[in-house]
Amino acid sequence: MTISTALWSFALVVGLLTLTPGLDTALVLRTAALGRRRRAWGVVLGIQTGILIWGALTSLGVTALLTASQVAYEILRWAGAAYLLWMGARMLIDTWRGTRADGADEARAVKDAGTLYEGWRQGALTNLLNPKVGVFYVAVLPQFIPAGSPHFTTGLLLTCVHILLGLLWSIALIAFARVLRGWLQQPAARRTLDRITGTVIAGFGLKLALGD
């Protein structure tokens, strides 16, 4: 297998993975739909940072520890589940408390939560605390590295393909989210979106905790 064939084949696999609705899509779409463009791009960059780190660690052989060590996998799995459950529960609790319906609180929340760094941190933690991403890279990435090619360099090159596709998909999501902004000017609509997203995130956390 040549490098060009490996790149196209890997792009097809991760492209389908990127288009599959999941936690990353929900986070980006929800953040952008609320009008927090800086934070939305922070989430995008955080997710791609996580992918880059997983790809680099896999290329170095470090993430093989996740499959070789049950303890390492379980620690990361429970940490990720706890983080997702906390994030989802916080969204749900805020909507029932009505904090998002209050104008002053909402303005303050948008200001405090609208930074690029906060979005980046949320995206990076969500990705890095998901051991299934690491296991995916351990299982899939080495299969697309041609024999005789530099393992680390080729692994990073393949990872960059995944990052590029993720960025393109995120651009489409953020553009689509602008269509929803008018509807989301209504407090009830904003609460509905947060309840849906919070439920999805908590559901991912529960699924991760149960080991499904």
Percent of the chain residues topping a pLDDT of 70: 84
What would the mean pLDDT of 35-44 be, rounded to a whole number?
Answer: 88
pLDDT category at 34 given cuts 50, 70, 90 is confident
Which pLDDT belongs to residue 179?
78
pLDDT category at 65 given cuts 50, 70, 90 is low
Query: Is 50 exceeded by the pLDDT of residue 159?
Result: yes
Dihedral over Cα of 44, 45, 48, 50: its sign: negative
Which pLDDT belongs to residue 109?
47
pLDDT category at 163 given cuts 50, 70, 90 is very high
3-class DSSP state of 63: coil
Specify which of 64-68, 82-86, 109-113, 166-170 reaches the highest per-range mean pLDDT: 166-170
pTM above 0.85, yes or no: no
d(CA 185, CA 29): 16
